[in-house]
Structure 1
Amino acid sequence: MSLIIRHPNENDLEGLTALMYEYIVDFYKCPKPPLQKIHHLIHTLQKEEKGIQFVAEDNGKLAGFATLYFTFSTTRAEPITVMNDLYVALEYRGTGAAEKLFRSCQTYSLLNQYAVMNWETAHDNARAQRFYEKMGGSKEDWLTYSI
């Protein structure tokens, strides 16, 4: 296996879309967003203004992706990144793809002088929680709400 971490390009649209649907629908059991919305999101992130994506590629096949969004922290009064997504296809789990994607997000955040990289995961996603703790992350005291 020769995993490469890179930014997606136009040739990745179909493969990245498929991975994002696996992540959204199969993994998180959320409704399937319309194709045009997924493509709009991918194209928005390719501009690297509001966020950025990384993909893990193995011999021409996409194995996973990670998404960073750019925002600010009022309590820090500085820009931060939020790793909103880190997904590796089932057949590539345990291969180091998740760690490489995570490290790419972390490195990008550091090199671009973001104060911190935050992320969240579901309460019942024990595998992800173990992974994030292994990567040096610690649980915060904040609860996430949505409306």
Structure 2
Amino acid sequence: MVNIEQVTTSEINDIIPLFDGYRVFYKMKSDLDAARIFLQDRVTNNESVIFAAYEGKNAIGFVQLYFTFSSVSLEKSIILNDLYVAAEHRGKSVGQQLLLKSQEFCKINGYKGLALETAIDNPAQKLYEKLGWEKDSYCFHYFWQVK
């Protein structure tokens, strides 16, 4: 059975290997120390909420949520920035459970909703749509990078 728990500073070490694996998946260099510091800072400074999926005492997946606001609607919302399930646990509804926990957190805490971006070819899109997420078809996303 999988349990979903909010990660506190005490549980950061449980998800470091997963977070590092997530970053490596996106072609970043493995760096466990930097991952630990980054996550510790986010949780300590209340800059994100992280939920981990546990099978027994082993973390097998996580989701990280960041907070934002809409000046137009005058409401707070959440960016689902990171979602990762260890390869050997994919296809077992772990990602779905993490998404449902994120949606529950959003509802309970009075947020307008959740936003995420994903690769055009990401097969998880079917899961997002199954859980009520709607594809934004009227907006492009741009990014400016400091060089």
2:95 aligned residue: 98
Alignment match, 2:6: 7
Counterpart amino acid of residue 57 in structure 2: G
**Most deviating of 31-40 and 48-57:** 31-40
- Once the two structures are TM-superposed, the CA of residue 128 in structure 1 deviates from its matched residue by 1.4
Q: 1:137 aligns with which of 133, 139, 143?
A: 133
Bigger mean CA offset, 37-46 vs 64-73 = 37-46
Quick one: distance in 1 between partners of 2:9 and 2:77? 27
Q: How far 1:35 moved relative to its partner?
A: 3.8
| Cα distance in 1 between the residues matched to 2:48 and 2:10 | 19
What is the CA distance between 1:65 and its match in structure 2? 0.2
In the alignment of these two chains, the number of paired residues is: 143
In the other structure, the counterpart of 2:71 is 74
CA contact (8 A) 2:9 2:44 kept: no
Runs (5+) with no aligned partner, structure 1: none
- Give the distance between the partners of 1:10 and 1:17, measured in 2 at CA: 12
Write the distance in 2 (CA, Å) between the matches of 1:10 and 1:79: 24
Q: Deviations over 1:72-115 (max 9, x none)?
A: 01222111011111111111111111111001111111111011
Matched-pair identity in %: 31
1:1-147, aligned counterparts within 5 Å? Answer: 2-10=1-9, 12-26=11-25, 28-29=26-27, 31-32=28-29, 34-47=31-44, 49-125=46-122, 127-140=123-136, 141-146=138-143, 147=145
State the 1:34 CA deviation.
Answer: 4.3
Contact 2:63 2:82 in 1 (8 A): yes
- Calculate the TM-score normalised by the size of structure 2: 0.87
What amino acid sits opposite 1:46 in the alignment? V
Q: For residue 99 of structure 1, what is the amino acid of its counterpart?
A: Q
- Inter-CA distance 145–37: structure 2 relative to 1 (3 Å threshold): farther
Q: Is the alpha carbon distance of 1:142 and 1:37 closer, same or farther for their aligned partners in structure 2, counting shifts above 3 Å?
A: farther
Alpha-carbon contact 2:14-2:59 (below 8 Å) kept: yes
Which TM-score applies when normalising by structure 1?
0.87
| RMSD of Structure 2 on Structure 1 (CA) | 1.8
Distance 1:10 1:47, change over 3 A: closer
Q: Displacement, 1:145? A: 1.9
